[in-house]
């Protein structure tokens, strides 16, 4: 059985989303604030990419995966 392949870029977005969520939630002691920060960073990064199309590509899935990284940790915290 072969495991599914995850693009390196998408894996990085998920890791960064989870990291932003964890750091923000721990510092503010608020999981919801961590999730909002994660979403802001994911969406903000894509707006940044859009402003520099010569060096970056805009991909809505990058924002989705970034938010999903934080959401996974958020949901884990709800059930543990």
Digit-coded pLDDT (tens) for 56-72: 899 999 999 999 999 99
Is 31 among the domain residues?
A: yes
pLDDT band at 30 (very low <50, low <70, confident <90, very high): very high
Residue 2 is assigned to a structural domain of this protein = no
Q: Is residue 71 part of a domain?
A: yes
* Res 6: pLDDT: 84
Average pLDDT, the chain: 94
Whether the pTM exceeds 0.85: the reply is yes
Residue 5 lies in a domain: no
Tokens of residue 63, six digits: 């924002």
- pLDDT at 53 > cutoff 90: no
Does position 7 have pLDDT exceeding 90, yes or no? no
Question: What SS3 class is residue 34?
Answer: helix
Residue 30 resides in a domain: yes
Domain that holds residue 71: 10-79
Counts for the chain of helices (H) and strands (E), in that order: 3, 0
State the Cα–Cα distance between residues 50 and 43, nearest whole angstrom.
11
Tally of domains in the chain? 1
Length of the chain: 80
């Amino acid at each position: 059985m072969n495991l599914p392949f995850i693009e390196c870029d998408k894996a990085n977005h998920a890791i960064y989303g989870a990291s932003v969520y964890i750091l923000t939630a721990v510092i503010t002691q608020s999981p919801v604030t961590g999730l909002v920060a994660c979403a802001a960073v994911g969406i903000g990064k894509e707006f940044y990419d859009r402003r520099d199309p010569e060096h970056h590509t805009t991909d809505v899935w990058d924002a989705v995966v970034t938010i999903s990284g934080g959401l996974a940790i958020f949901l884990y915290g709800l059930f543990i």
